[in-house]
Chain A
Amino acid sequence: MTDRADVVFGALADGTRRDLLRAVVERGPCTATQLAAGRTISRQAVTKHLGVLAAAGLVRGERTGREVRYVADTAPLRAATGWIESTGAAWDRRLARLDDAVGSASRRAARQP
């Protein structure tokens, strides 16, 4: 896995950040103040978490006047899961061939007197 993926999953290792990322995806562009509303953490804490998500490329802040609105980007997530997806698919293929290989062996053994 790349160091970039490490940053992505490090950012997502925290439940509050996962919750915030989910909220940004669901709400669309929104400010830290809007995200803090209804949560038990301060706007400053939200901003700090958003900074970590931004460093991982999972959100980015877009300034409009005095406001910074955050938008989500899931491209880093897709890139980070590359090894898991490709390796999992490779084992799916290999195990299908293994099924054929041991099945054939078992059938050969069953035919032997």
Chain B
Amino acid sequence: MADEQIDRSVLLDADADDVLAALDDPDTLSAWLGEWTPDADGDGATVITDDGVARRVTERHATAATRRWTWSPTHDPAATSVVTFTVSTDAGRTRLTVTEHRMSATSPGAPVATASVRWAGALCALGAVLAVGSLVAV
């Protein structure tokens, strides 16, 4: 199984501290990510995202400018992803970049960079192929 990764970035009219707080505070997380229920003990949580999927959040890690956790749907614990948020300032605003990386089950040590290069090539091919109208229907 190959790795998969998505990246999204947004500029926010808020202080970096407020954005980081939105990634930490259960009430704020519930407001934008989904119903967030912290574990009674430890740093884990359960969140029900807007697609109705309950996800277990584990391995939370924080630095001054990043937040990271691992999550997986409760109905499919093997479908584990690592979500990383990075906060930076950008022309007086706050840029939040989120990366969700779904690691290969068969090559858990596969470097992300290698996987990204592979996917970049594959997706270039996809773009080229899908841009052509003369496709063969099955």
Contact = CB atoms under 8 A, between A and B. Distances in A.
Interface of A: 1-3, 5-6, 9-10, 12-13, 15, 18, 21-22, 25-26, 28, 71-75, 77-78, 81, 83-84, 87-88, 90-95, 97-103, 105-106, 109
B121 A95 contact: no
Contacts of A22: 125, 128-129
Nearest to B131: A25
Contacts of A97: 31-33
Contact of A21 (B121, B123, B125): B125
A54 B102 CA distance: 26
Contacts of A109: 18
A78 B135 CA distance: 12
B91 interface: no
B132 interface: yes
B1 interface: yes
8 contacts: A12-B126, A13-B121, A18-B125, A25-B134, A84-B4, A87-B6, A91-B100, A94-B49
Contacts of A73: 135-136, 138
B1 A26 contact: no
Nearest to A28: B134
Contacts of A93: 50
Interface of B: 1-2, 4, 6, 8, 10, 12-15, 18-19, 21-22, 28, 31-34, 49-51, 81, 96, 98, 100, 102, 118-119, 121-126, 128-130, 132, 134-136, 138
B1 A102 contact: no
A73 B28 CA distance: 45
A94 B10 CA distance: 11
B16 to A, nearest CB: 10
Contacts of B118: 9, 13
A1 B6 CA distance: 13
A101 B50 contact: no
B138 A77 contact: no
Contacts of B14: 102-103, 105-106
B32 A81 contact: no
A101 B2 contact: no
Q: Determine which residue in B6, B100, B134 has the highest number of CB atoms from chain A within 10 A of its CB, and name it.
A: B6
A2 B15 CA distance: 40
